[in-house]
Structure 1
Amino acid sequence: MDKRGPRVSDAMQVFDRRLVRRRRDRAAATIDAVAPILEDCADRLLDRLDDTTRRFTRALDLGGRGVVAPRLAARGIPFVVSADLSPAMAARAAKGGGSLPVAADEEFLPFAPESFDLIVASVSLHWVNDLPGALIQIRRALAPDGLFLASLPGLGTLQPLRDALAEAETSLRGGLSPRVSPFPELRDTAGLLQRAGFALPVADAEDVPIAYRSPLGLFADLRAAGEANAVLARDRRTPPRALLPMAAAALPLGPEGISPSLKLLVLTGWAPHESQQKPARPGSATHRLADALGTVERKAGDRAGG
């Protein structure tokens, strides 16, 4: 048993976490290049705070890359911690937002139970190997009636690029290896929240419009954001020189260039609290549905009269 908690089994190891950390360290110097996309995603997520009258005082910005912490402070939250797998990214995230920087692995969160009443993870959990385990730790770090908000790319994100790379590599090498991260499906995410112990779990999806005049802009932004391929099963050989040009040529072009697709999954869950609404017990209804609808109730098998 690891002192930080149970180890992630080999079967669950999808991503090279050391590589993810190194790339995020480098991206701390270039992340401004993709700030508009990160800001748009953060605004879409934090708009969910307008749906509640709950007031928060202790927030955790998990992987916000410098755009979430200032927005939390602007909403009047007095204490914000900015945590990131990369120490450099954590320091950068805290620099402009007045938050406390913490280098932390999402799979081994170093926070005591009930440390926060709000945890926000904006486009930051898609490189986690053990997402169910990470969600359990996040729920434990929330105080009762605390809110968890998260967004992450979903199935369909970068699908045109995935298809173009697969076609090009198959043509050049007669086979293919993973070059775009696997993304979760919407139908699975609400179940993950429920399994982790969240109350009132909700998951929905939004299409975030992004476009580039040329594929080179997309490739540059992925590198600037630290989002290059970190799948463990990737081909470690140097890619063929013609791979990216061939894939770029295969990407579908529209009036505004290429639209690589960003399917944003938005997750909402609450730490359980006795004040929250609970489903009624079966058989506890005090009014008949037929009365409310103004209809006549019939037994099963009865035929409606003319």
Structure 2
Amino acid sequence: MAAPVPPSAPPQIFDPARRAAALRRMVRRQQDPASARYLFADLAEDTAERIGFLRHVPARSLVLGDPTGAVAAVLPGTVDARPVPDFALDRPWPVGGYDLVAACFALDCVNDLPGALIHARAALAPGGLLLATLLGSGSLPVLRAVMLAADGERPAPRLHPQVDVRAGAQLLQRAGLADPVADARGLTVRFGSLRRLVGDLRDQGLTGVLAQGGCPLGRPALARAEAAFAGLADADGRVTERFELLTLSGWRRPA
């Protein structure tokens, strides 16, 4: 009888060490009151609206990400907030019994996203709700175009692969969550410089952590990137960038 074939490991798209470093940098930068935090503010408002619409009043919540505390602040009951990168998302979570798990851009750079969603379901109490928000497909089109202009004929992998609505719904079903819903909303932000756009991404922990990313931009490539960015400016000298916020929601079935 042939030996069973062990399950294959998920592809290592993201570098865990780079991801941890980026998240630690985000936590440090968020100590500055001037740091960008508009994505987390939007997420806090959206979370409050969703649980209000669903009439779900969690007594005990787990919040992953959320370095500003904005999401935790809108939740009733006891909140277990994990803003720092010390939580192994792609391994079984040593937690359970939560009425709500809110992942705030915490799953964007997990190599085993299907596995992380299964762990999230296991962390929920029966009848508990998962709300996981990621940067969805269609985010950062300006930055993508600028990086292509900077790299010229040899484009390098610089931005993360992103999940779209259809794939998100399939991931929820695969994780065994009931009543799975994937939806996306757009948020536009105007920037006066490429440097400010990159700074805002660093503030919010959304810079590149690919395992096989491109080499750092040299001065000539950076100059091309800044020129391409300036070429997209409107009459006010600003460029409008788009963030697409993809939210995956589903329930753990009652016992």
**TM-score, structure 2 length as denominator?**
0.88
- Counterparts of 1:8 and 1:266, CA distance in 2: 28
3-state SS of paired residue (1:259): strand
Deviations 1:261-293 (A, max 9, x none): 10111111010126xxxxxxxxxxxxxxxxxxx
Structure possessing the higher relative contact order (Cα contacts under 8 Å, 6 or more residues apart): 2
Q: Flag the 1:268–1:110 CA change in 2: closer, same or farther, 3 A.
A: closer
- Counterparts of 2:8 and 2:156, CA distance in 1: 23
Q: Partner letter of residue 254 of structure 1?
A: D
Contact 1:135 1:196 (C-alpha < 8 Å) held by counterparts: yes
The question of 1:71 aligning with 2:53 is answered: no
Alignment correspondent of 1:117? 99
The question of 1:272 aligning with 2:253 is answered: yes
Contact 1:45 1:122 (C-alpha < 8 Å) held by counterparts: no
**TM-score, structure 1 length as denominator?**
0.74
The question of 1:13 aligning with 2:16 is answered: no
Report how many residues are paired. Answer: 243
- Counterparts of 1:42 and 1:144, CA distance in 2: 24
3-state SS of paired residue (1:209): strand
Quote how far apart the aligned CAs of 1:30 are. Answer: 0.9
Deviations 1:105-155 (A, max 9, x none): 21124324x421110012221111111000000001101110111211111
Instruction: Specify which of 215, 220, 224 is matched with residue 242 of structure 1.
Output: 220
- Counterparts of 2:48 and 2:74, CA distance in 1: 8
3-state SS of paired residue (2:146): helix
The question of 1:263 aligning with 2:244 is answered: yes
Structure 2 unmatched runs, 5+: 1-5
Quote how far apart the aligned CAs of 1:248 are. Answer: 2.4
3-state SS of paired residue (2:209): coil
- Counterparts of 1:62 and 1:180, CA distance in 2: 22
RMSD of aligned residue pairs (Cα, Å): 2.0
Contact 2:67 2:84 (C-alpha < 8 Å) held by counterparts: no
Q: Partner letter of residue 80 of structure 2?
A: V
Alignment correspondent of 1:42? 44
Tell me which stretches of 4 or more aligned residues in structure 1 moved more than 3 Å.
Answer: none
Alignment correspondent of 2:205? 226
**Structure of larger gyration radius:** 1
Q: Flag the 1:14–1:162 CA change in 2: closer, same or farther, 3 A.
A: same
Alignment correspondent of 1:59? 61
Alignment correspondent of 1:81? 80
Structure 1 unmatched runs, 5+: 1-5, 87-102, 275-306
- Counterparts of 1:187 and 1:238, CA distance in 2: 33
- Counterparts of 1:7 and 1:106, CA distance in 2: 19
Alignment correspondent of 2:91? 108
Alignment correspondent of 1:203? 182
